[in-house]
Amino acid sequence: MRKLIFIILFFWLHLFTNAAPIGLGDKAPDFTLKDQNGNPFRLKEYIGKKVLVIYFYPKDDTPGCTKQACYFRDQYEAFTEAGAIVVGISSQDVQSHKAFAQKYNLPFTLLADEDGKVRKLYGAGDGLIPGRVTYVVDREGKVVYIFNSQSDVKRHVEEALQKVRELNR
């Protein structure tokens, strides 16, 4: 019986998540979303200029998401010195992102993916609980790192920074 429940749960979760996430070596899909100040951010405008760290997170101002955002904040200078731009994406609106960024002094861009289209485009877990996935995109627009973990928020930051530094050697 337990085995049957596990199988049903596995397939149910699979149905409600994107079945074809982007992978290592894939070109990062272009998108345009509004940032926490209401300005459009188009990925294409940054390709060729900087390495991008794009992290999807479930929700503003929740314990795990706040911890992750603050780790990115605390390492922000190291990311910028290594030639990277940090971008956080979740489904909350511009006002929520603005309040979240102000409350925790977040120096990086937060993007409002209110309809979840970009999350689905990247395959960043759009099930019951939105996924927590970090991508590093090189200057050519190729995905060179992916880390997916709901709970290990610090590792998202540490490993992304390590990958950014490797790219700039």
Give the active site residues. 65
Residue 125 zone, left/alpha/beta (φ > 0; ψ -120 to 50; rest):
left
Indicate the burial class of 79 (C-beta count within 10 angstroms; 0-12, 13-18, 19 or more). Answer: buried
Task: Calculate ∠ Cα 160-166-169, nearest 5°.
Answer: 145
Using alpha carbons, select from 117, 162, 135 the residue that is nearest to residue 52.
Answer: 135
Which amino acid makes up residue 122?
Y
- Cβ contact 33:134 at 8 Å: no
Instruction: Name 1's Cβ contacts closer than 8 Å, sequence gap at least 6.
Output: none
Q: Cα–Cα distance between 105 and 73 in angstroms, integer?
A: 8
